[in-house]
Structure 1
């Protein structure tokens, strides 16, 4: 069965009513938030944004860069990403802290919950030579000086007091486990004026760690070589001094690194130049000795000369061999008698032989002419023949001698040719050896000249060292402090003060286990709501009377009217009252509901106390009858009339109290005598109200459902739980009790049903 009271729309009116009922929450929340905002503004000083920009020079200033990989031995060009780590390095921050003395932070009180960072001038200082170099803790000195100049000093490390002095004049020495500290005044101290200051004393390494947290160093953009520095601090002088000192120490370190690099480079160059000078001299001497040993001036020229000479020798051999062959042919020609009158065809290089050949050939021509004109035995022909024989004989002798000379000359030429061939065979080896020696000498000479050049460049760099970081913007402060202004903070506090109560109410509604209003009950169960009863502060148990027009009486009359609609039928007159647990006001509602029904004209009402395990009606009415319901049910000699008692002060309303607590209450209520009893009572009364036991604790009430016509279930705000409502819903949806309806007890006073009710009705 669906919950008919569940609504899908947002009930703004109910929400507003809830907030109005909790108006004091809003007042407390707003006051609290405004007070906290005021204290925050009092204590917190808005920081100033300090900024600085440095351009990192990227040109290559390393004189050894041209050596390629060797240049990395003496430093290499720094990238901007690497320089970010350098400029924000721990060692650099430590140097900054040491030079500026910011390992000592001075806070001077300005009044209630207000102080400021004093820099660069402060009234009181702590002097401790050498301690800051090794100190790894933070020592806090609290100094109070009265108008008489007497000081109270306390030194603490975390929560431990390590030293204190009272009513001392400054300068004063404080002995601690960390060393001796002297507290002194400075020229800024004003005599005759009270002063309260706190000095935080740390080591330089700890101060560097603090700077690392405070200072931000980052690359301006991916496409730039600019490093930006940022520091947020309430003291602009402190921030600008720190950032400017960081840049100064960074550039100083860069110059020192460059100078150190230049000095190392100069030492390297001097060593190498001296070594190469010796090696170059040795190479030149070796070349000289090699030329002297091999009797060469120039290997290439010598090779060219020998090659030309070889060609000449080859030509000479050819010509000589040809001459020898011609001389042999000539000699053979002359030796053959058949060739006596023939011309000698040879042409030889030997001048004497060639002259004889020419003479002989001329004589042969002359003889041929004579033989044509003269007789064979003529004197001229005989004389010419003798002359030819003589020339022929001389020619044979001269040709033999020329042949001998030619063969001897050929041998000499061939010997010279062999010598030239040997020399040409040695030239490649000599050339290779000479070239290798020459190459070594040239390499050393080139390196020597290169190092001389770099030596001069390095000397120029040492004489003109410039910082690596070019300052674009020295440390400057933005015009407006960071953070929110006091007005905005107070406005936010006001808004938060108004928002916290709804948030808390919402969270409370999510985590609470108890409901608070009648509307909460309506949203969680589908059973009809018979009515509600406001909190009663009158102290009375019976609040209904015939002449009473109080809010309680009116609410009970409303419940009575709704109950009459629930009963409906003509014979419906028995109303079973129950709840989940004790303390929800079931007996109070039962008593006053019965009294309200008795106010109807001509109606007789009976209130039956059937919560026999924990009876309360007798106590509520202040009566102590001798007999009760349990006496009647357990004994046959007890009459019905003996247990019925009139309700004091209420006409036409009787009551049957529970009586003594029996040992077997469940069996007693399940007996047939109960049915017989109610059969009789129905004939005697117009309405019967049964005050039964809570159903969440025992099952007695379920056994009484057989004699009832309707059930009124009592719940109590801020007492009954949400799980109790689920239990009610389960009973209703499963029809375990007839005509179940709910009364919400303990609600707050409110206007409704056309009347103004006051809070004075509900009871447990």
Structure 2
């Protein structure tokens, strides 16, 4: 009669403990203390080596102030300047354009060529190459013919050996474009021209050490200026200084100060680069700004040459007319008549000059077609609006040309500037037309007044009248000539007095301490890494672990009672010595004590898979129970394997199978006394049958159970694994207590939910767990999860198991040595 299974907790009430156990974490860290110390020493040592042998990088800074001289060209320009300053959108100095110009490759390439930065010298030291700047005893120099164009130049690398006091050097290696080049004469005199696919060059000796320190290896690296300029650009930043106020819609809170920052391995080189960059930026800006004045001077010179020719013709006509007609002086009455309308004629002359100047500008604009060139300014046009528009047009052309020098026509900034220039040119055309219309109306009025005066002059003798006409022609052209001469001088003065668009507010200077590598941060990071690396590795390993280690792994995932934790055996003996006091024997004593509180006599011992130690647990539990004087029967109910029979050397004796198939009708005939203890008997399984499940389900198996209950105090049955066969479930109703064996470092954590399901559904009566082969040396408390670092390895029982079924019935072949006991 089977015992009633106890009330069991349903699976849905099982909750894994997700709370953080601070004590467990601290114990884990304490258990890893030696690894943490070693990790810290290793990480700090690596950090020290990195800091010691990494080339330091220094930061250099310089300040630049953009000088805005306001707008020129009258009240209209002043109004536009005021509006631009108020809104923050300056037409003269667009800060974004200036920041871009300071970092253009063309400007940086000019710096590289000025300072010869694309030729680098390195000295071989014990562990690394040390770059030499302006203190190298040798110098590289290109010879004629000049090598290929800078843009397509292949990088050149030369490794040479120099001996102090020698007049020659030895070339160890030469690479052109990454490919090795054979050099016929490796020993080369200083100053001798060397021919390579990259070009002709020579190497000179600048000075020689007085002491003989042995040969020194030098490496010379020559790259194109553009590639080195790209390297500088990656380490160069330009930013605008703010005055600290915030404005969401305008840039009025931004100052005109730019801070340049450059990172470089050599402080002196960084300072020289920044200084040269600023000087080249100011000079380039000045040259672009001078283009407008120079174009005006060329235009004025051309017009002066033409006017000089016209004046020469008029003066020649005047002189010839007087000499031919022998005229000595003009009559005073004629002079009075001619000059009576002088006021009108002066105004007429001024307007005609303005019309001629407008015609010059129209002619110049017509010759541009779709291009944009600077319009001559400072010609004497008196219309303020037109003059201001021309100046703004020229200023935008200067900015456009500066952008174009460092980019292409497809650059968005250049495209935007071209659109603005088109609009401004159209505006200039409209302004010229309006001014011409105004001047035409006034000219018509003046001509009408002059026409009335000419009627009065008609009575003047023809000779005097002709001289007056020649004189009037001269008077018209001479003011224009004098005006152009004056404007030429003004432009010349403006050209030489052209101010710089920027000035240095802070001279380039480098910080005394390097910014890379950051020693403090590296050491702190290495210390932190050393502290967290061992726990990190350990907890990562724990998170990826798939095997049960100890009691805590099971308790977290199931609510099945754990009867005992059996230590890992350190001996080859399969069975315990009950008189011993070792940990293994004490473990079975603990298991025996736990069973005292369980009802009934029939104890099943099963597991999930073969090899988890159920036969080992069943055998030694029976020995432990028999040692208390209780009559104990050890039965091998796993009919698919003869593991129990092999252990005790009784494989040829009759057993349970023989009784179930009717070969014997007396249960006594299949019981064998254990020779070492009179209280222990063994019931082997017998031969392996082809139908073990059917035999166990027959009516004769309950007879064995009934006999065992009548004649023994405890009956320990070694049953089949639950995951490999259904035999144990078929006879589960006869068990009073079921011990389910889980083996440390063998049972997969992922099968624990299935074991919990067996418990929740009551498929195994009074089910309890036994953790087998736990390494107490690693964890003396038997919890065996993340509280200790190691878990040991191997099994201590001298036996092994295979997996799968042999011939459709057994679990496979067994290997390993077994110690047999006589019965």
TM-score w.r.t. length of structure 2:
0.64
Aligned to 1:471: 504
1:96 aligned onto 2:116: no
1:215 aligned onto 2:236: yes
1:579 aligned onto 2:607: yes
Match of residue 751, structure 1, among 776, 780, 788: 780
Aligned to 2:207: 187
1:58 aligned onto 2:68: yes
Within 5 Å, give how 1:508-657 maps onto structure 2: 508-542=541-575, 544-565=576-597, 567=598, 569=599, 572-600=600-628, 602-621=629-648, 623-637=650-664, 639-647=666-674, 649=676, 652-657=679-684
Structure 1 residue 452 displacement after superposition: 5.5
Aligned to 1:239: 270
Aligned to 2:527: 494
Structure 1 residue 593 displacement after superposition: 2.1
1:98-149 deviations in Å (ceiling 9; x for gaps): 222222333434433x443322223455555525714465555555668998
1-side partners of 2:343 and 2:275: how far apart? 69
Bigger proportion of residues as helix: 1
Counterpart secondary structure, 2:700: helix
Counterpart secondary structure, 2:738: strand
Aligned to 1:71: none
1-side partners of 2:520 and 2:182: how far apart? 43
Match of residue 761, structure 2, among 725, 728, 734: 734
2-side partners of 1:183 and 1:642: how far apart? 108
Contact 1:632–1:638 (8 Å) recurs in 2: yes
Structure 1 residue 453 displacement after superposition: 5.4
Contact 1:610–1:658 (8 Å) recurs in 2: yes
Structure 1 residue 693 displacement after superposition: 2.5
Structure 1 residue 83 displacement after superposition: 1.4
Aligned to 1:352: none
Match of residue 13, structure 1, among 23, 42, 61: 23
Aligned to 2:58: 48
Aligned to 1:690: 717
Which 10-residue stretch deviates more, 617-626 or 464-473?
617-626
Within 5 Å, give how 1:241-256 maps onto structure 2: 241-256=272-287
Structure 1 residue 709 displacement after superposition: 1.4
Larger Rg: 1
Aligned-residue Cα RMSD (Å) equals 4.5
Structure 1 residue 207 displacement after superposition: 0.8
Provide the aligned length of Structure 1 versus Structure 2: 612
1:35 aligned onto 2:45: yes
Aligned to 2:227: 206
2-side partners of 1:158 and 1:634: how far apart? 90
Match of residue 709, structure 1, among 727, 736, 750: 736
1-side partners of 2:219 and 2:682: how far apart? 80
Aligned to 1:407: none
2-side partners of 1:428 and 1:178: how far apart? 72
Within 5 Å, give how 1:112-511 maps onto structure 2: 112=127, 114-123=128-137, 127=141, 130=147, 133-135=150-152, 138-143=155-160, 153-155=172-174, 161=180, 168=187, 178=198, 186-187=206-207, 191-221=212-242, 223-271=254-302, 431=445, 434=448, 454-483=487-516, 486=519, 489-511=522-544
2-side partners of 1:218 and 1:276: how far apart? 52
Structure 1 residue 498 displacement after superposition: 1.1
Contact 1:54–1:228 (8 Å) recurs in 2: yes
Counterpart secondary structure, 1:746: strand
Structure 1 residue 712 displacement after superposition: 1.6
Counterpart secondary structure, 2:596: helix
Contact 2:651–2:686 (8 Å) recurs in 1: no
Contact 2:140–2:203 (8 Å) recurs in 1: yes
Gapped regions of structure 2 (runs ≥ 5):
1-9, 79-90, 243-252, 314-337, 345-440, 452-472, 783-790, 801-823
2-side partners of 1:628 and 1:210: how far apart? 88
2-side partners of 1:436 and 1:533: how far apart? 134
Structure 1 residue 642 displacement after superposition: 4.2
1-side partners of 2:184 and 2:562: how far apart? 75
1:595-629 deviations in Å (ceiling 9; x for gaps): 222222x2122222233334433444455333343
Return closer, same or farther for 1:214/1:483 CA change in 2, 3 Å cut-off: closer
Return closer, same or farther for 1:429/1:595 CA change in 2, 3 Å cut-off: closer
Gapped regions of structure 1 (runs ≥ 5):
69-75, 283-294, 302-426
Structure 1 residue 33 displacement after superposition: 1.3
Return closer, same or farther for 1:428/1:15 CA change in 2, 3 Å cut-off: closer
Structure 1 residue 89 displacement after superposition: 0.6
Return closer, same or farther for 1:96/1:645 CA change in 2, 3 Å cut-off: farther
2-side partners of 1:678 and 1:587: how far apart? 19
